[in-house]
Amino acid sequence: MTDASKEGNGRASGTPPRSSWPLFEVFLRGKRGLNHVHVGSLHAADAEMALHHARDLYTRRNEGVSIWVVRAADITASSPEEKDPFFAPSGDKVYRHPTFYEIPDSVPHI
């Protein structure tokens, strides 16, 4: 095993490490009418426990009316680079924005 972080931590062999509880990302709907928003992450043995932990950790003051938890490993992410070619298709399509079109000031309600 080459993983340096796992060495020398005195863990008894055969004991499942705490980190064997997978990581879950937590999303909260703050109130009706709003989207779920990512608020953080936590470890839990399974999804049901993750929901309970998320309630205790992220909604102690009525911050949410609905919680989603999802295993971090199940998320597929784009690369974080802002200049990533992945986002290039929308970069040169200014005509998708309303400000692209010139309309005389005299025309109302448009």
**Which residues of this protein are in contact with other proteins, per CB under 8 A?**
2-6, 9-11, 15-21, 23, 40-43, 45-46, 49, 56-57, 60-61, 72-81, 84, 86
Cβ proximity to other proteins, 61 vs 97, nearer residue: 61
- In our burial notation (b when 16+ CB lie closer than 10 A, e otherwise), range 53-66 reads bbeeebbeeeebee
Task: Name which of 75 and 110 has its Cβ closer to other proteins.
Answer: 75
Nearest distance from C-beta of residue 109 to other proteins, angstroms: 37
Q: How far is the CB of 87 from other proteins (least distance, A)?
A: 9
Please, which residues bridge with residue 29 across strands? 36, 66
CA 2 remoteness from chain centre: 30
- Provide, rounded to whole angstroms, the least separation between the CB of residue 96 and other proteins: 21
Question: Is 16 or 98 the residue whose CB approaches other proteins more closely?
Answer: 16
Maximum pairwise Cα distance, the chain = 79
Angle at 56 between CA 51 and CA 61, to 5 degrees: 120
